[in-house]
A and B are shown apart, each in its own frame.
Chain A
Amino acid sequence: MAREKNYGNPSLEGKLKDRYYYSDDTNRDFTQEVEKIGRTIAHMCYQCGTCTGSCPSAPRSSYRIRLFMRRAVLGLEEEALTDPDLWLCTTCYSCTDRCPRDIAPTDVIMAMRNLAARRDIVPRNFLKTVQAIYKTGHGVPNNDVNRAARVKLGMDAEPPTTCGFPEYIEGIKAIIDHYGLKDRADRILSEGE
């Protein structure tokens, strides 16, 4: 039952660490923080699995939203925030539509991403998306294939967004700068190089 094995060797200590969940692994503040940011009653989850069953990402990935709900209930901060699967949610909100306890699992995921980002835990593709939005106003910028398709369908080649009105990109930049998002993304990306 002793959790410290006292091998006197930090790498061995990490390697031989057991996989038990201990009662003091629970961080109650984490549950409360997730509920505050997500504005949903995550602690009421009874783990029926309707969320994972509804999830379009689940059959195509290792993402199991029920598992993140469980981590929210138990306050397993480390496990939740360091799991790369956290970023596989497409935020389609199917789980939120169907949750029988009227919880919004999607918002729990968003809250966890939020908390992860505070600790600079964000996948590189997400950071690059931030840069793309900063530059073009779009996460996925317009391209030639798209433009051709739009013309063929009788629309303008550029949609009525920042593509058609590039003068508004400055406004978007102002918003992103207000939250320091671009600088943060640049910093993390450069540190990772």
Chain B
Amino acid sequence: MAEKKEARIGVFVCHCGTNIAGSIDVEAVKEYAKTLPNVVHADDYQYVCSTPGQTMIADAIKEHNLTGTVVAACSPRLHEPTFRMATKVGGLNPFRFEMANIREQNSWVHMHDREGATEKAKDSVRIAVAKASLLEDLIPKSVPVEKAAMVVGAGVAGMQAALDLANAGIKTYLIERSPTIGGRMSQLDKTFPTLDCSQCILTPKMVDVGRNTNIELMTYTEVEEVEGYIGNFEITLRKKARGVLSPDEAEAKGIVGGGCNGCGDCVDVCPVIKGNEFEFEMAPRKAVYIYHPQVVPNLYTVDFNTCIKCGLCVEACGDKKAIDLEMVDEFVKVKVGTAILATGYDLFPIENKTEWGYKKYENVITGLEFERLICASGPTGGHLIRPSDGETPKKVAFVLCAGSRDNTGVGKPYCSRFCCMYSLKHAHQIIEKIPGAQPYILYMDIRSFGKMYEEFYYRIQDEGAKFIRGRVANILEDATTKNLHVFAEDTLLQRPIDLEVDLVVLASAVQPTAGADTVRKLFGVSCSQDGWMLEAHPKLNPCGTTTAGVFLAGVCQGPKDIPDTVAQAEGAASAASIPIHRGEVELEPYFAQCVEEKCAGCGMCVNLCPYSALALVEKEGRQVMQVTEAKCKGCGTCGGFCPGGAIRMQHFTTPQIVAQIDAFLLGGEQ
């Protein structure tokens, strides 16, 4: 700390083209700055963030022997790092820089009040100068980064992210809540617009994940607790009781050559029958089950909620001794440097929109149910049927924006983004599989925005799908035939329509998965108002979050189709690997500091700290508080509370804040 050297501050006012200069008198602000105490230099420039602008700061520091700099420009979220660097180039500690936001918080909101905006800018500059006069040198702290990563959720996003990380040489824990990896994509029959078989392109990736030695796959496992910070997350995982031992687990227990080999002998004897969640309960499963034949890992799972513990499966399993009906949840702790959340989506409960009759009329199904019914490995072997009578439907209505673009509070206000395209694909599939079938697509807009998507739309229209522009008002069932009457307006014909169809497919809106909110909060990630996880910046940092070291991939961040999901997963994997490859991360030096001579050792701050960064230690025969700097986020909770004023918040010290308040209230008079 430079002791009591007189403060010499330089002020730089940015025009930002006309963003600032258009509604603020920059010249007046500059002239005003020159009159402020401690200001020895003031200047203005078109774009201070440009290379000449930065040079201007560095040169002024040398020329005027400055001790601190103030830039009045945009939000520190944008250019604080730029100007800190310029300050450093000029020979000062980078933390001797203070920013006055006269754009986002001023010129943009007071566009029509030039005089008022200029006065406000003067206030902002005065306050920043007051703080800059008291700034101190701070040294950022580096912490080592654990050379491991975690990916939460093993759908196509999580799998891709884990594969990328693992192939970059990073040990990766891939955590999946359900018994198998694969996610939503493994439930799909075909993918648009190429009509690739979804399973065929996904299973090679699933096998890669299972085989990759850098990936530690943990299925039927949930995140229980997250501690730590970037580089050093300590994560507690709950391995849910699966009731079945893998070959490795069996060997660890001394059962040589045992463990589950996926033979399925247990299934034949199990007396409990339940709906298979993977097939949306359109097919049965036993209490001991796998979702489908291609599961990874190829391990059975006992559903302890329905298992009656009759023990028949244990007998059937025999010498392999793979089944343990007394198994309980286990907790495992792992340490990772970074984490990627890829928790995916669920369908919105479309029965809440009662006018479309889902769960009331048998022949109204969702898009995902359609996928299972048209899929060769699904419950009907790929023969699309009407649930009411097993007949093949000829006329099928596809209801788009079912629950999306809905501001009633029942549905979702956003566009779910992939329903248009999968409904086009569904229309294609019934034309292809059912001779004489007539698909009707009831839409508001067709959003076929991706590569080759518009061409796909053209193709489906050419194949004979009828497009009716109008949102479906309601659906009624003919009680005898179980046919459905779809009511809407053909807005192009300007006529109400009454379509009698055999089957209705609702392209239901999507929403975050049930557990996503819990996971999000454990990792300290925010959500946007629509409930999806919040990215650090919607355009320039779509994979990052506001929690350093935590990244997002796939639909958990917002609805997106498979190509976008995979692209984001690869982006997230790349971003998550950077701190690991660098080996250390620099933390902002905004730590709390204990002034030991003032500390009474009451320990009240220890319990208040949301990051468990504080502890009481014995020093010179008495208790004093000690800060683990790497854990401290500089939130100020302890500093604000400490009854003895013994906690000093670096970069936000009491004298600095008081000086800012004084500068504002006293209007520059000392």
Contact = CB atoms under 8 A, between A and B. Distances in A.
Pairing of A with B: yes
Interface of A: 1, 19-24, 26, 41, 43-44, 46-47, 66-67, 70-71, 73-74, 76, 101
B540 interface: no
A47 B445 CA distance: 11
Interface stretch (B85-93, B171-179, B462-470): B462-470
Pairs A-B, 5 closest by C-beta atoms? A20-B498, A21-B497, A23-B499, A47-B492, A21-B495
Interface of B: 395, 438, 440, 446, 458, 461-462, 464, 466-467, 469, 476, 478, 485, 490, 492-493, 495-501
Contacts of B498: 1, 20-22
B303 to A, nearest CB: 44
A35 to B, nearest CB: 12
Contacts of A24: 500
A82 B462 CA distance: 27
A101 B498 CA distance: 29
B462 A43 contact: yes
Interface centre among B446, B467, B493, B500 (most CB of A within 10 A): B493
Nearest to A22: B498
Contacts of A21: 490, 493, 495-498
B492 to A, nearest CB: 5
Contact of A67 (B438, B440, B493): B493
A19 B493 CA distance: 11
A74 B493 CA distance: 10
A50 to B, nearest CB: 14
Interface centre among A43, A44, A66 (most CB of B within 10 A): A43
B499 A70 contact: no
A74 B466 contact: yes
A47 B499 CA distance: 20
Nearest to B487: A20
B576 to A, nearest CB: 43
Contacts of B495: 19-21
Contacts of B395: 23
A4 B321 CA distance: 70
A67 B492 CA distance: 7
Given A1-B478, A44-B458, A44-B462, A23 B501 contact: yes
B461 A44 contact: yes
A168 to B, nearest CB: 45
Given A1-B476, A1-B485, A23-B501, A47 B496 contact: no
A169 to B, nearest CB: 45
A70 B461 contact: no
A77 to B, nearest CB: 14
A20 B487 CA distance: 9
25 contacts: A1-B478, A1-B500, A19-B496, A20-B497, A20-B498, A21-B493, A21-B495, A21-B497, A23-B395, A23-B438, A23-B440, A23-B500, A23-B501, A24-B500, A26-B466, A43-B461, A43-B462, A44-B458, A44-B461, A47-B469, A47-B492, A70-B492, A70-B493, A74-B490, A74-B493
A117 to B, nearest CB: 24
Given A20-B496, A21-B495, 14 more contacts: A1-B500, A20-B497, A21-B490, A21-B493, A22-B499, A23-B499, A43-B464, A44-B461, A44-B462, A46-B446, A46-B467, A47-B469, A71-B493, A73-B466
Contacts of B485: 1
Contacts of A44: 458, 461-462
Contacts of B476: 1
A191 B446 CA distance: 49
Interface centre among A1, A21, A47, A74 (most CB of B within 10 A): A21
Contacts of B493: 21, 67, 70-71, 74, 76
Contacts of B469: 47
Nearest to A25: B497
A66 B492 contact: yes
Contacts of B496: 19-21
A25 to B, nearest CB: 9
A16 B395 CA distance: 28
A73 B493 CA distance: 11
A46 B490 CA distance: 13
A28 to B, nearest CB: 9
A37 B369 CA distance: 42
Contacts of A67: 492-493
B447 to A, nearest CB: 13
A74 B495 CA distance: 13
B667 to A, nearest CB: 61
Nearest to B501: A23
A47 B438 CA distance: 20
B20 to A, nearest CB: 42
Contacts of B438: 23
A70 B493 CA distance: 7
Contacts of A73: 466
Contacts of B499: 22-23
Contacts of B462: 41, 43-44
Contacts of A23: 395, 438, 440, 499-501
Nearest to B457: A46
A43 B466 CA distance: 9
A1 B469 CA distance: 22
